[in-house]
Amino acid sequence: MASSRDDFIIAIRSAFLKKSTQQKFSLLTLVFFSLFIVVLSSLDFKIVRYSKSIISEIVYRSSFVVSVPENFIKNTFLQVKDYTTFFNKYKKNMIELESLKSNYVFNEITEYENKELKELINDYVSSSNKILAKIIVDHDSPFLKSIIINKGSKDNIKIGTNIYDQSYLVGRVIEVNYKTSRVLLLSDLNSNVPVTIAPQNIQAIVTGSGGDNGQIKYIKSGLSDQLVDDSIVYTSGTGAIFKSGVPIGKLESFGENTVNEYKVEFYSDFSQLKYVFAEIITETKIPQEESDSNDDNNEQNNPLDAKLKILEDELNIIEESNKKFQKENENLKSELNNLNYKVLNLNNEISSQRKTISQFNLDTEELEFLRLNLNYGHKCRKTLFNNKGFIVGSAEYKNCVLRRGKIDG
């Protein structure tokens, strides 16, 4: 302990010996002033308490001034964020509303079209089932290719009823008795069947040849070159005599010319038939829905009025939607104006806060000067021993204190 004190005394003594008289005086003044400040801070003087309270008040008010614009900007940002979220939800709801309106109009049109289709088919729907029939007479002659089956009018057989061998077309009924019917085969000279040739999708007529094959006729010029062997021939349904999509046979080329000619090889061997299937078509009346008002009856009786009514309803929906959109746009414009007004007020308040902060910065600079003046005032003060100093209270003196504080800091 004694050695440390001796070292301190030796250091002080050496420092004094190396300094000039003016520097020694300044050093002693600084030491005594520091001791004075330490002693003064430990004592409970009124002026010390007053200075501490002033500094505390300044620090508190400066923190409050800084927090006011911060909180205001934060609250404003949250409000703008809420408005943005509300606007996005509004756009999403409007898109869903438009989708629902479109679906509603589509359902109305579909319902009307269903009613119109019912009227076109005379309020009947057809269903078919096949019954088994036995061949009891086979007229095999060069001029007539027909068979007689054991089903007649008592079994709902009618003229034009299609006859099948499993899934393949055989012919159609041309004469009906009570218990029997005559079937004209596809190979008969009087048979003409509208067909489609796949995969070329070419329309043609298959006529009987009196033999075991059919002939392709009435093909549009230029399309016959597209035909190839083994192309499938099936009924097209043109003329509503035969059901569409029923297989008949396949193409087979013949002839020795450069341009091939084709005949139809039937899938069924008519000479070996013992049993066939007759397709019975029954019509079922569609029950009419009872209307609740005379307007509905008028719509069913007059399809044009029904269409016009649907279009009018759609137009009314669009007009109502436009009115809602205009009203909502006006509300949005009003809200936008309010936001602009609030932003303007915010800018004014921020400007005011900046002025306050600037004033606070000036006060802070004064406090900084007072603090540094305690440490560096003797270096900048013009005294008897310091001719290079400045007069206390002058701008040069203040700048000197602040500059020395920055250099040492």
Question: Do 306 and 349 have their domain in common?
Answer: yes
Please give the single-letter amino acid code of residue 275.
Y
DSSP per position, 198-222 = ETTTEEEEEEE-SSSEEEEE-PPTT
Is residue 272 within a helix (H) or strand (E), and if so which, with residue range? Answer: none
Whether the per-residue pLDDT at 337 is higher than 90: the answer is no
CA distance 136 to 139: 10
Same domain for 146 and 15: no
pLDDT tens digits for range 234-268: 998 887 788 888 899 998 887 665 556 788 999 88
| % of the chain beyond a pLDDT of 70 | 68
The alpha carbons of the chain give a radius of gyration, in whole angstroms, of: 56
Overall average pLDDT of the 17-43 stretch:
67
Domain boundary among 242, 260, 285: 285
**Torsion, Cα of 365, 369, 371, 377 (10° steps):** 170
Q: How many helices (H) and strands (E) does the chain have?
A: 6, 12
Which pLDDT does position 194 carry in this prediction?
92
pLDDT over 60 (residue 299): no
User: In the prediction, which pLDDT does 220 show?
Assistant: 79
Structural domain boundaries, residue 196 = 124-285
Q: For residue 200, name the pLDDT band (cuts at 50, 70, 90).
A: confident
- For residue range 56-87, what is the model confidence (pLDDT) as tens digits? 667 666 666 666 666 777 777 777 777 788 77
Residue 291, pLDDT score = 44
What distance, in Å, lies between the first and last C-alpha atoms of the chain? 33
One domain for residues 27 and 84: no
Residue 249 shares a structural domain with residue 391: no
> Do 321 and 370 reside in the same domain of the chain?
yes
51 is a domain residue? yes
Query: What is the overall mean pLDDT for the chain?
Result: 76
How many angstroms separate the CA atoms of 381 and 29, rounded? 13
- Higher-confidence residue of 289 and 272: namely 272
pTM of the model as a whole = 0.42
**Distance between CA atoms of 16 and 132, rounded to whole angstroms?**
139
What pLDDT is recorded for position 150?
A: 92
Q: How many domains does the chain have?
A: 3
